[in-house]
Amino acid sequence: MLGRLSTSEFEHYIHELHEKLRIPASRDGIFRELDVYFGPSRPQNSEGAFAFTDEFGYHYAFSEKGKVRIHKVSDDIFDASYWILSDQVFKMALEYAKYHQIPGRDFRRVLFEKELELFKSLGPNYVKRAEIAIDEILKREPYRD
C-alpha cells in the first residue's frame, strides 16, 4: 500500500480482516463483533478502544475512567492491525478457554492454542507475530501444570 489510509479506509481495512474471524470463531460460538470506535476519541469520552489515522501514523488507544490508558502509534498498518485484532482474538479465545479448561493444566494452554487457531484465519504473518508474543509471555511466566 502506498501512502497512509484515511481513518475511514483504515476502519474498512480492519473490518475486512475481522470478518475473516467470523467463520472459525462462530463454529465455537465465540465470535464477537468488532468493538473498536474509529475516530480520534470515544464518543462522549466513553470507555473502550478507538483507532484513527493522522499525520503521525495509525493510532490504537484505550480509554478508561476518562483517561487514555494505552496509546500506540505506528506507520506500519500491519502493526496497528495486529494490535487491534489481537485484542479481539484474545477476547474470543478467552471465552472459549473459560468453557474448555482442562483440570490440572495451565488455563493458558487452551487460550493460546485457540488464539493461534484464530490468527491462522488472518494469515501467516499474524500467526508468527502471535507466536512471538506467546513465547515472550512464557519466558517470563512459564506454564504451571
Query: pLDDT at residue 140 above 90?
Result: yes
Joined together, the cell numbers standing for residue 46 give 466513553
pLDDT at 143: 96
List pLDDT tens digits, range 45-67.
789 999 999 999 999 999 998 89
User: Which H helix or E strand runs over 140?
Assistant: helix 124-140
Total-model pTM: 0.93
Contact 66, 45 (CB under 8 A): yes
The Cα 136–Cα 74 span in angstroms is 21
Average pLDDT over residues 8-20: 98
Residue ranges of the domains in the chain? Answer: 7-140
For residues 55 and 6, the answer to whether their CB atoms sit within 8 Å is no
| N- to C-terminal Cα separation, the chain | 45
pLDDT of 1: 46
Tell me the pLDDT tens digit for each residue of 20-39. Answer: 999 999 999 999 999 999 99
Residue spans of beta strands (DSSP E) within 75-121: none
pLDDT at 91: 97
Burial (CB count <10 Å: 0-12, 13-18, 19+), residue 112: buried
Q: Where are the beta strands (DSSP E) in the chain?
A: 36-38, 48-54, 57-64, 67-74
- The pLDDT value recorded for residue 2 is 60
Which amino acid, one-letter code, is at 13? Y
Is residue 14 scored above 60 in pLDDT?
yes
pLDDT, one tens digit per residue, over 56-110 is 999 999 999 889 999 999 999 999 999 999 999 999 999 999 999 999 999 999 9
Return the percent helix, strand and coil in the chain, to nearest 5. 50, 20, 30
Measure the CA–CA gap between 127 and 27, rounded to whole angstroms.
20
Categorize the per-residue pLDDT at 16 as very low, low, confident or very high, splitting at 50, 70 and 90: very high
